[in-house]
């Protein structure tokens, strides 16, 4: 990238990105942070109700992140390196936990593994108490390992097979190749995966709320203050603590990976196969993935069963009435809204995140670190406060002419930038600068270099950004809870209402429809995108 | 996403409404001589889904005023939404949820005072004196039991008082809505405090002794009902009307009982300041206070009515049929954080 002075177009692009981030991330969030006022903060800190949840949040984040990243790594390694069978199946199953509203899944866990669970009590005659730290740790591990898997698989598949082949040919065993070549080369992706997973776990509300019992964490405490007691100033103060915690995580990550380069792609795409892993390792991978997939399928299977039975688990008589409910009248409108909002937001967010990642990673200008932080910040903002900030900032009379659907779409775009951005930065750090510099030396502008050279090589990162934004938009409840209007109701809002109404059958039918629609959409996107962008990343 | 369509539909409906009105088809619901309410109102509703649909349809039929409903089962979410929207209010009416959720909005100047002519017979304890909010239904805190587990584990004996729940036979067989996460759980603690004449030590001693009997503290009040239906525990304190609604789906599986000295809520309706259709909003307040609306709500939700001429739902407790504590709503709201901390210390969380 040339200096900004020499390329006004680049300067303009940078200013535009910064302005958008300030307008749609910083400005709304400031409204929330400033809500309690100095007096409010003093009173809140003195009350001390935040001490226990803060401690619990840190403990839970450490535990769940560790297990989720380990599982994500195993899954990614198996998908990229092993010769195991059923890879397309595992790819699909690995995305399922991303596609479902957490509060429905958490409820399904209690039905399966709770004190009177279908598995625990029905099969084994045990009545475990799953409410508390252990229960929520387990559920979060399953719910969040796919995020780690996505990012790690993207990084692993980009490491150059030739280096591994070279090590292999020099006599290194597969473990040694992995430890001394693969692992170091995938460090940017790993760092990004750990940070992103940790931040998402830190701000997760659904699972601790339903499974956590009296193990209160910051997001549940904040949400309960709003939902059950209408106290949103204290809740806003809690949200500020969460933001500070996430900031700490970010700084730790920056220290951890410093500014090192991890260049492995030198230009020509390599068609060389990776060194073979032993049959034993492939078998072990297969078994590990099968076990994970089994748990996931059990949970989603139970959703399908309860959608098709009268009153799961007490009355298992077959019925289609729940699906008829979903399709009747205007009940299906929310599904359409979800599909439209999520698709538009995912496309924009993925491209925007990639472009921003390129500006930050390749630029030499001052203040890069600040923009870097701002682009990761949204991950640390619990959806409910992100939405609340939008309502405070943009519910203005002079904006009334704008359809409220746009507000939801913009919120989706900016709330979900961090993953795509992280993937882009990690990807760029593995691509040698000299490649895009070659283009600019030959006379192309930096922006053209981005479009024609960098973009085609970052298909994997683009895909990660798109998929993550799409699935998070499809599944979020908290972000839209303050933004929806009757004509812009989305699926999760409807599901939330049905669960509150004790209509578990219709709630699961709605969830199954929502997940099914999202999977079909993702498959269509994959087919459409094939050939245009290298979808190679996690598909190895 | 389709404002065009909405506008067209709205015009059609408005036209149809005018036609009906012109033919004299719309019965006059308001007793006042004020100009007739028309158009559309936006309602933020914390009522159950089925109640919403039928109640609002009946209102439109009775008055000709169209309803655009934004339902959210958590009243606190709606209270927060209305607070956050104060620069550009989007709602005309806030309906449902205990008066605790309406009262702070009134104090912040976000509600429009309105003395409905239909509220004149409503007891003073059920309404705000200046008309910022008006109570129109009541909910009573009761106890849900899983019939088969009650017979198998507890000897079939339902609790007649809250103290009965201290019996070791209930050990690890109760679920309580979480007092930190749910309004219902907090009302349970506050009820104990009022039961002991605001003696907090005695109330906390009760909660401490109750703690070993509690299997888990449930994250939402309706979720606890599901847990009891599925037999996770033998019983749980919860809202009587929601227990009755669940019981209607499968009458032999669960049952309701109301222990003596229990707490209750007053469900309120209020007009949001800045409403673009004050006449329509007033028509709604007038209408929910009618006998017709009271009967319908009682039938749909099993809640009670503030009107004495509305018969309770079959099997539903009323404010006169059960013994209530002297529930000091303001005190319970003002001392909430302190009491929650006392409770956490008492049970060692």
For chain B, percent of residues with pLDDT exceeding 90:
77
Residue B213 banded pLDDT, cuts 50, 70, 90: very high
Which residues of chain B have a CB within 8 Å of the CB of A220? Answer: 181
For chain A, percent of residues with pLDDT exceeding 90:
26
Residue A262: the pLDDT is 58
Does residue A272 have a pLDDT over 80?
Answer: no
Higher pLDDT, A338 or A316: A338
* C-alpha distance from B31 to closest chain A C-alpha (Å): 31
Residue A489: the pLDDT is 92
Between A353-367, A433-447, B64-78, B147-161, the lowest mean confidence (pLDDT) is in A433-447
Residue at B311 is within a domain: no
Residue A299: the pLDDT is 87
Overall fold of domain A4-31+53-261+269-539: MetI-like fold (1.10.3720)
Residue A499 banded pLDDT, cuts 50, 70, 90: confident
| Partner residue facing B84 (CB), from A214, A314, A392 | A392
Higher pLDDT, B300 or A449: B300
Answer yes or no: do B76 and A486 touch at CB < 8 A.
no
Interatomic CA distance for residues A370 and A365, integer angstroms: 11
A307 contacts A505 by C-beta, under 8 angstroms: yes
**Nearest CA among A452, A474, A454 for reference residue A462:** A454
Which residues of chain B have a CB within 8 Å of the CB of A224? Answer: 178, 180-182
User: CATH number of the domain that B243 lies in?
Assistant: 3.40.190.10
Answer yes or no: do A226 and B76 touch at CB < 8 A.
yes
Residue A185: the pLDDT is 77
Compute the average pLDDT of residues A313-338. Answer: 88
Beta-bridged to residue B268, according to DSSP, are B135
Between A266-270, A505-509, B104-108, B231-235, the lowest mean confidence (pLDDT) is in A266-270
How do residues A184-207 score in pLDDT, each as one tens digit?
A: 877 777 887 888 889 889 988 888
Q: Are residues B109 and B130 in the same domain?
A: yes
Does residue B252 have a pLDDT over 90?
Answer: yes
Q: Are residues B57 and B105 in the same domain?
A: yes
* C-alpha distance from A226 to closest chain B C-alpha (Å): 5
Compute the average pLDDT of residues B252-278. Answer: 96
Residue of chain A minimizing CA distance to B172: A129
* C-alpha distance from B33 to closest chain A C-alpha (Å): 32
Answer yes or no: do B225 and A498 touch at CB < 8 A.
no
Which residues of chain A have a CB within 8 Å of the CB of B73? Answer: 496-497, 500-501
Residue of chain A minimizing CA distance to B215: A129
Residue A261 banded pLDDT, cuts 50, 70, 90: low
Answer yes or no: do B84 and A232 touch at CB < 8 A.
yes
| Partner residue facing B85 (CB), from A116, A232, A391 | A391
Does residue A69 have a pLDDT over 90?
Answer: yes
Residue B140: the pLDDT is 96
Max mean pLDDT among A3-7, A162-166, A302-306, B251-255 falls in B251-255
Answer yes or no: do B245 and A395 touch at CB < 8 A.
no
A203 contacts A64 by C-beta, under 8 angstroms: no
Residue of chain A minimizing CA distance to B344: A214
Sequence-separated (6 or more) residues with CB below 8 Å from residue A399 = none
For chain A, percent of residues with pLDDT exceeding 70:
94
Sequence-separated (6 or more) residues with CB below 8 Å from residue B89 = B82, B110, B272, B273, B274, B275
Residue B139: the pLDDT is 95
Q: Are residues B180 and B114 in the same domain?
A: no
Residue B323: the pLDDT is 95
* C-alpha distance from B183 to closest chain A C-alpha (Å): 5
Task: State the average pLDDT for chain A.
Answer: 85
Q: Are residues B196 and B339 in the same domain?
A: yes
Compute the average pLDDT of residues A149-157. Answer: 82
Compute the average pLDDT of residues B275-287. Answer: 96
Higher pLDDT, A48 or A260: A48
What is the dihedral angle through the alpha carbons of A258, A261, A264, A267, rounded to the nearest 10 degrees? Answer: 140
Higher pLDDT, B25 or B338: B338
State whether the Cα torsion B312-B313-B315-B318 is positive or negative.
Answer: negative
Sequence-separated (6 or more) residues with CB below 8 Å from residue B8 = none
Pairing of strands B93-98, B264-272: antiparallel
* C-alpha distance from B100 to closest chain A C-alpha (Å): 8
Residue of chain A minimizing CA distance to B100: A229
Dihedral pair phi/psi, residue B42, rounded to 5°: -100, 125
Pairing of strands B133-146, B254-257: antiparallel
Residue at B2 is within a domain: no
Residue A416: the pLDDT is 92
Interatomic CA distance for residues A155 and A76, integer angstroms: 9
**Nearest CA among A347, A376, A383 for reference residue A21:** A376
Q: Are residues B172 and B252 in the same domain?
A: yes
Residue of chain B minimizing CA distance to A409: B1
**Nearest CA among A508, A518, A514, A517 for reference residue A105:** A508
Q: Are residues B13 and B129 in the same domain?
A: yes
Residue B295: the pLDDT is 97
Residue B33: the pLDDT is 55
How do residues B65-103 score in pLDDT, each as one tens digit?
A: 999 999 988 888 899 999 999 999 999 999 999 999 999
3-state class (DSSP) for residue B260? strand
Which residues of chain B have a CB within 8 Å of the CB of A331? Answer: none
| Partner residue facing B226 (CB), from A48, A229, A502 | A502
Q: Are residues B330 and B212 in the same domain?
A: yes
* C-alpha distance from A395 to closest chain B C-alpha (Å): 6
Compute the average pLDDT of residues B26-34. Answer: 47
* C-alpha distance from A443 to closest chain B C-alpha (Å): 45
- Return the number of CB contacts < 8 Å for A and B: 149
Interatomic CA distance for residues A223 and B178, integer angstroms: 13
Answer yes or no: do A486 and B225 touch at CB < 8 A.
no
Sequence-separated (6 or more) residues with CB below 8 Å from residue B334 = none
* C-alpha distance from B42 to closest chain A C-alpha (Å): 9
How do residues B161-172 score in pLDDT, each as one tens digit?
A: 999 999 999 999
Q: Are residues B204 and B334 in the same domain?
A: yes
- Give me the domain span that covers residue B132: 7-24+33-139+265-305
Compute the average pLDDT of residues B166-194. Answer: 94
Which residues of chain B have a CB within 8 Å of the CB of A403? Answer: 1, 3
Q: Structure tokens of A448?
A: 């053209």
Q: Structure tokens of A329?
A: 């009248």
Q: Are residues B295 and B153 in the same domain?
A: no
Residue at B159 is within a domain: yes
Q: Which of B54, B101, B220 to mutate: most A Cβ within 10 Å?
A: B220
| Partner residue facing B80 (CB), from A214, A226, A337 | A226
Q: Are residues B183 and B236 in the same domain?
A: yes
Which residues of chain B have a CB within 8 Å of the CB of A221? Answer: 180
Answer yes or no: do B215 and A111 touch at CB < 8 A.
no
Q: Are residues B257 and B276 in the same domain?
A: no
Q: Are residues B193 and B325 in the same domain?
A: yes
Interatomic CA distance for residues B38 and A466, integer angstroms: 46
Element (DSSP H or E) covering residue A352 = helix A333-362
Q: Helix, strand, coil proportions of chain A in percent (round to 5)? A: 75, 0, 25
Which residues of chain A have a CB within 8 Å of the CB of B80? Answer: 226, 230, 232, 388, 482
Does residue B11 have a pLDDT over 60?
Answer: no
Between A33-47, A399-413, A516-530, B195-209, the lowest mean confidence (pLDDT) is in A516-530
Answer yes or no: do B73 and A500 touch at CB < 8 A.
yes
Which residues of chain B have a CB within 8 Å of the CB of A499? Answer: 222-223
- Could you tell me if the ipTM is greater than 0.90? no
Sequence-separated (6 or more) residues with CB below 8 Å from residue B38 = B14, B17, B18, B21, B64, B65, B279, B280
Interatomic CA distance for residues A141 and B174, integer angstroms: 29
Residue B305: the pLDDT is 96
Ramachandran region, residue A531 (left: φ > 0; alpha: ψ -120 to 50; beta: rest): left
Does residue A530 have a pLDDT over 90?
Answer: no
Compute the average pLDDT of residues A67-93. Answer: 89
How do residues A282-291 score in pLDDT, each as one tens digit?
A: 888 899 999 9
Residue A263 banded pLDDT, cuts 50, 70, 90: low
Which residues of chain A have a CB within 8 Å of the CB of B6? Answer: 487
Residue A488 banded pLDDT, cuts 50, 70, 90: very high
Does residue A86 have a pLDDT over 60?
Answer: yes
Does residue A380 have a pLDDT over 80?
Answer: no
Answer yes or no: do A227 and B226 touch at CB < 8 A.
no
Residue B5 banded pLDDT, cuts 50, 70, 90: very low
Provide the whole-model pTM: 0.85
């Amino acid at each position: 990238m040339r200096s900004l002075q020499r390329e006004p177009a680049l300067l303009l692009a940078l200013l535009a990105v910064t302005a958008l981030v300030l307008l749609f991330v910083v400005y709304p969030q400031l409204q929330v942070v400033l809500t309690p006022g100095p007096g409010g903060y003093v009173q809140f800190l003195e009350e001390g109700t935040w001490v226990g949840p803060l401690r619990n949040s840190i403990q839970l984040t450490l535990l769940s992140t560790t297990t989720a990243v380990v599982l994500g790594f195993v899954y990614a390694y198996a998908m990229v390196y092993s010769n195991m069978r059923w890879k397309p199946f595992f790819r699909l199953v690995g995305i399922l936990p991303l596609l479902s509203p957490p509060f429905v899944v958490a409820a399904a866990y209690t039905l399966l593994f709770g004190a009177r669970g279908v598995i625990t009590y029905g099969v084994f005659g045990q009545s475990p108490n799953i409410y508390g730290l252990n229960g929520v740790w387990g559920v979060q591990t399953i719910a969040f390992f796919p995020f780690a898997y996505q990012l790690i698989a993207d990084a692993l598949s980009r490491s150059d097979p030739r280096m591994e082949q070279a090590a292999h040919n020099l006599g290194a065993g597969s473990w040694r190749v992995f430890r001394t070549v693969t692992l170091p080369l995938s460090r940017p992706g790993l760092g990004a995966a750990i940070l992103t997973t940790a931040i998402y776990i830190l701000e997760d509300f659904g699972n601790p709320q339903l499974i956590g019992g009296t193990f209160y964490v910051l997001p549940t405490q904040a949400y309960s203050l709003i939902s059950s007691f209408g106290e949103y100033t204290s809740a806003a103060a809690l949200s500020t603590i969460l933001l500070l915690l996430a900031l700490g995580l970010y700084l730790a990550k920056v220290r951890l990976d410093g500014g090192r380069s991890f260049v492995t792609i030198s230009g020509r795409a390599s068609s060389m196969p990776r060194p073979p892993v032993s049959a034993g390792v492939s078998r072990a991978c297969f078994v590990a993935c099968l076990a994970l997939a089994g748990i996931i399928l059990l949970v989603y299977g139970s959703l399908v069963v309860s959608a098709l039975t009268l009153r799961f688990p007490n009355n298992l008589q077959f019925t289609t009435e729940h699906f008829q409910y979903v399709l009747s009248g205007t009940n299906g409108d929310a599904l359409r809204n979800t599909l439209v909002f999520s698709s538009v937001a995912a496309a924009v967010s993925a491209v925007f995140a990639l472009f921003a990642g390129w500006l930050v990673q390749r630029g030499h200008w001052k203040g890069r670190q600040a923009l870097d932080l701002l682009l990761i910040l949204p991950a640390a903002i619990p959806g409910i406060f992100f939405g609340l900030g939008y309502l405070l900032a943009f519910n203005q009379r002079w904006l009334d002419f704008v359809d409220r659907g746009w507000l939801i779409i913009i919120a989706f775009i900016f709330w979900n930038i961090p993953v795509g951005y992280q993937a882009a930065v990690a990807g760029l750090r593995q691509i040698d600068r000299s490649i895009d510099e070659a283009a600019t030396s030959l006379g192309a502008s930096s922006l053209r270099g981005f479009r024609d050279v960098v973009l085609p090589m970052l298909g994997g990162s683009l895909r990660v950004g798109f998929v993550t934004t799409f699935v998070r938009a499809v599944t979020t409840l908290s972000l839209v809870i303050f933004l929806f209007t009757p004509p812009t109701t989305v699926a999760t809002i409807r599901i939330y209402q049905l669960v509150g109404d004790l209509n578990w059958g219709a709630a699961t039918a709605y969830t199954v429809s929502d997940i099914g629609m999202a999977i079909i959409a993702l498959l269509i996107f994959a087919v459409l995108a094939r050939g245009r962008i290298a979808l190679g990343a996690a598909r190895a | 996403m389709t404002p065009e369509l909405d506008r067209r539909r709205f015009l059609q409906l408005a036209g149809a409404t005018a036609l009906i009105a012109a033919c004299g088809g719309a019965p006059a619901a308001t007793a006042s001589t004020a100009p007739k309410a028309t158009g559309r109102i936006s309602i933020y509703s914390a009522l159950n889904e089925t109640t919403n649909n039928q109640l609002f349809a009946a209102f439109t039929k009775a008055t000709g005023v169209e309803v655009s409903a934004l339902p959210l089962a958590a009243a606190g979410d709606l209270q927060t939404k209305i607070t956050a929207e104060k620069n550009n209010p989007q709602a005309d009416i806030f309906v449902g949820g205990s008066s605790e959720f309406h009262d702070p909005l009134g104090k912040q100047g976000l509600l429009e005072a309105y003395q409905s002519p239909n509220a004149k017979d409503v007891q003073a304890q059920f309404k705000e004196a200046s008309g910022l909010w008006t109570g129109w239904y009541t909910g009573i805190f009761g106890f849900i039991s899983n019939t088969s587990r009650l017979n198998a584990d507890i000897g079939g004996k339902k609790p007649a008082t809250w103290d009965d729940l201290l019996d070791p036979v209930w050990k690890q067989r109760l679920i309580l809505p979480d007092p930190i996460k749910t309004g219902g759980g907090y009302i349970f603690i506050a009820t104990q405090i009022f039961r002991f004449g605001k003696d907090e030590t005695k109330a906390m001693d009760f909660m401490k002794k109750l703690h070993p009997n509690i299997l888990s503290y449930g994250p939402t009040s309706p979720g606890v009902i599901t847990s009891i239906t599925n037999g996770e525990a033998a019983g749980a304190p919860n809202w009587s009307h929601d227990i009755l609604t669940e019981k209607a789906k499968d009458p032999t599986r669960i049952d309701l009982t109301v222990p003596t000295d229990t707490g209750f809520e007053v469900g309120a309706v209020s007009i949001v300041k800045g409403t673009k259709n004050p006449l329509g909003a007033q028509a709604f307040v007038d209408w929910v206070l009618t006998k017709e609306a009271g009967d319908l709500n009682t039938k749909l939700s099993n809640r009670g009515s503030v009107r004495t001429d509305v018969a309770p739902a079959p099997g539903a407790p009323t404010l006169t049929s059960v013994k209530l504590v002297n529930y000091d709503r303001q005190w319970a709201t003002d001392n909430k954080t302190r009491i929650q901390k006392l409770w956490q210390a008492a049970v060692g969380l």
